[in-house]
Amino acid sequence: MSAAPKGSNDKSYYVTTPIYYVNDAPHIGHAYTTVAGDVLTRWHRQKGESTWFLTGTDEHGQKVMRTADANGVAPQAWVDKLVEEAWLPNWKALNIANDDFIRTTSERHTKRVQNFLQKLKDEGFIYAGKFEGPYCVGCEEFKLPGDLIDENGQKLCPIHSKPVETVDEDNWFFKLSDFREALLKHYKENPEACQPESARNEVISFLEGDVRDLSISRSTFNWGIPVPWDTKQVVYVWFDALLNYATAVGLGDDVSSEGGKKFAATWPADVHLVGKDILRFHAVIWPAMLMAAGLPIPGKVFAHGWLLVGGEKMSKSKLTGIAPSDITDHFGVDAFRYYFMRAIPFGSDGSFSWEDMGARYTSELANDFGNLASRLTAMIEKYCDGVIPAPANGGELAEMLKKTVDTADSAMCALDFQGGILAIMDFCKRINLYVTETEPWVLAKDEANKAKLNEVLYNTAEGIRALAVLLHPVMPEVTEKLWQSLGAQSSIGEIGEQQISKVANWGQLPAGSVVTKTEVLFPRLEEVK
């Protein structure tokens, strides 16, 4: 058992989202997780690290089969339609730079799942048995009696508030209980392996209880991966789905093959991002499966909170799901990405509010950041003929930038996106204050102040250069426009190639870079199309 190495040159920093259950189009809860994974991966990429970012879709199971039947189509046709018309377009629209997209119906996944399962059976970790008990089709989860809520004599799933079904089947079981002690030891000795602390405590509490073996097959329907030695049964959807993180990078392939080499360069995953409702699958069942196969377990499982609407978890089935486009059509994609990483502490529940997003858009993005960029380009055009003046000593700004980079880097790498963004925006506020204090418009009235004016304008431009780089993982489109406006593209290279560790080196914008006006980065809301 081992965790992912950090900072290794021959090991990619590997981040995953859950593979989302394809039963409907994505809502902003799905987008929240995916944007977080994208921001985290982009940040590490700008640290100069090799990275790999995986997302995808979970397409098997009883719920998908029933929904497809209700829509009068075959399950495969149903999931194909949703992936092609809803999931992939949404991630493209949100500027998600994933390296791979795994589907559990793909051949590469199916074959590797069957090979993995056969190996576990051959090594004695799978046995025949009988399962009788409650099952939530919405969760696709075998429930323990203590998991359920009682309402008017009915046993309900606490997540979906719907009655559970009773399953009585002859199934195949995985010896999950064999790994209870090893998992308990792992989480007690490695607190960073399951975060935040509340999630870790939940997992430890579960492991200190009665951990039962897991039914890993279903015999009453056929929409799933056939069990290789018993084709009348299909693999339990979660046992199938969890394996995606490893099958996507070549699980079980010959070490000399392309897949084998990819697995060696990528596995284990550094961070699994999950919602807290699927924590137990990822922090208990998944590492146990890997232990049984003699494979390294992930470095960290991070369970973020729920996005709430009206005090309830966002859900399509409860008609509380909001499509990402409902928000991006009004505020723009980068504002969407910024708001959800900035407004909600990652790991806590958070309520989405149109009013709060509108207020932050205006104050933080339009006024603090966007207006600063517009003022700077206008002043350089007016006072310096549109050309960056000679580099100057940044003084207090340069010193604050060093602290900002250190704080933001520590926070972002710890998945404290809010803390990282707050540090960066505090630096933005300081640049605004610097402009207010130095009054370049007053300096420009007297030619004797030309040297001081040039110093102020250079330092402002250099501060904005740093802001663009630091905010690029969060807002890639807007910062790219700003980068072009500063003339930085032609003078110091692509914004995505600027390394976090070098951001604080003051004086990178060379004299003579041509500044151009760009469109308003964050239009007033009444102007948003």
Show which residues are catalytic: 27, 30, 136, 139, 157, 160, 313, 316
Query: CA dihedral in degrees (249, 254, 256, 262; nearest 10)?
Result: 10
Measured CA to CA, the distance from residue 330 to residue 478 in angstroms comes to 16
Inter-residue contact 135 to 165 (CB < 8 Å): yes
Closest CA to 114 of 12, 224, 265: 224
Are residues 502 and 68 in contact, defined by beta-carbon separation less than 8 angstroms?
A: no
CB 335 within 8 A of CB 474: no
Q: Which residue type, as a one-letter code, is found at position 312?
A: E
Q: Is the peptide bond before 473 cis (omega within 30 degrees of 0)?
A: no
Q: Which residues contact 451 (CB under 8 A, 6 or more apart)?
A: none
Residue type, 188: K
Task: Tell me the residue type at 89.
Answer: P
Task: Copy the structure tokens of residue 208.
Answer: 């200190």
Burial class (CB in 10 A: 0-12, 13-18, 19+), 396: exposed
Which alpha helices (H) appear in 371-519, and where do they start and end? 371-384, 396-413, 417-438, 440-443, 450-471, 476-485, 488-492
Q: At what angle do helices 450-471 and 371-384 cross, to 10 degrees?
A: 150
Joined tokens for residue 55: 């997302």
Strands 126-136 and 141-142: antiparallel
Q: Name the amino acid, one letter, at 174.
A: F
DSSP letter at 86? I
Cα–chain-centroid distance for residue 380? 38
Owner of token pair 């492991």: 207
- Residue 123, classified by CB atoms within 10 Å of its CB into exposed (0-12), middle (13-18) or buried (19+), is exposed
Find all residues with CB under 8 Å of 69, minimum gap 6, and list them.
none
Q: Quick check: 25 and 93 in contact, CB under 8 A?
A: no
